[in-house]
């Protein structure tokens, strides 16, 4: 198993639209394992392949308190949305230390495949629904801060720039 490098915003590679997974082979299962290990180590509750510079439609999620309920979604599609849209606080391993509210569907039905290529459907609400929508945005090249106002986005970019310069000086 291996820890993968997580791309940091702003990085143009975070805007690449991922292509469908077509081969359900050992390479894919190794990628799933490495992504899960990277997510748990971060720590985070989700990770999209885009964030580790692999532009294929694959996400891993574990929103359990016990970190033992890994969910893998390959070629995920939202096939139904219901309930009110709600603002929930989000974070992102590609945008460290930024937590902002984003409006999302409160209840979704997802169709996806598992690591063996078997198709399944799942209804999700709460944190799982938020996380699936956030990770699926990554597969479409969208980072959650892009839902925020231009002013907030520019403040975030300024803050990230200052942090990077400080890290560079201290390196
Ligand atoms: O970068 C990512 O896409 C992962 C992201 C997922 C997410 C979190 C919250 C709302 C929407 C999507 C994270 O995991 S950020 C880190 C985080 O939220 C967390 C870290 C440790 C414990 C609990 C949560
Ligand atoms: Zn993210």
pLDDT tens digits, one per residue of 34-57: 999 999 999 999 999 999 999 999
| Cα 118 to averaged position of ligand 2 atoms, centre (Å) | 26
* pLDDT tens digits for range 125-150: 999 999 999 999 999 999 999 999 99
Whole-number average pLDDT of the chain? 97
pLDDT value of position 167: 86
Residues 88-121 have pLDDT tens digits of 999 999 999 999 999 999 999 999 999 999 999 9
Is-above-0.95 flag for pTM?
Answer: yes
Share of the chain above pLDDT 90, in %: 94
Q: How much distance in Å is there from the Cα of 135 to the middle of ligand 2? A: 6
Helices (H), the chain: 26-41, 126-139, 150-170
The residue to mutate among 44, 70, 88, 94, having the most atoms of ligand 1 within 8 angstroms of its beta carbon, is 44
Q: Is 135 a catalytic residue?
A: yes
Report CA(43)–ligand 2 centroid distance (Å). 12
Q: Is 62 in the pocket of ligand 1 (CB under 6 A)?
A: no
For residue 168, pLDDT over 90 is answered with no
Query: Strand 100-113 to strand 71-90: parallel, antiparallel, or no bridges (unpaired)?
Result: antiparallel
Tokens of 156: 């975030």
- 40 alpha carbon, closest ligand: 1
């Amino acid at each position: 198993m291996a820890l993968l490098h997580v791309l940091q915003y702003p990085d143009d590679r975070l805007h690449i639209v991922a292509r469908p997974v077509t081969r359900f082979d050992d390479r894919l299962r190794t990628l799933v394992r490495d992504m899960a290990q990277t997510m748990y180590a971060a720590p985070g509750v989700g990770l999209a392949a885009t964030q580790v510079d692999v532009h294929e439609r694959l996400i891993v999620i574990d929103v359990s308190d016990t970190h033992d309920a890994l969910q893998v979604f390959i070629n995920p599609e939202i096939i139904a949305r219901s309930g009110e849209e709600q603002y929930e606080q989000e974070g992102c391993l590609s945008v460290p230390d930024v937590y902002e509210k984003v409006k999302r569907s409160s209840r979704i039905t997802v169709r996806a495949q598992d690591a063996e290529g078997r198709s399944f459907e799942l209804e999700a609400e709460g944190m799982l629904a938020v996380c699936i929508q956030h990770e699926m945005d990554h597969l479409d090249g969208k980072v959650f801060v892009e839902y925020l106002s231009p002013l907030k986005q520019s403040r975030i970019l300024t803050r990230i720039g200052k942090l990077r310069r400080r890290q560079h000086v201290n390196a």
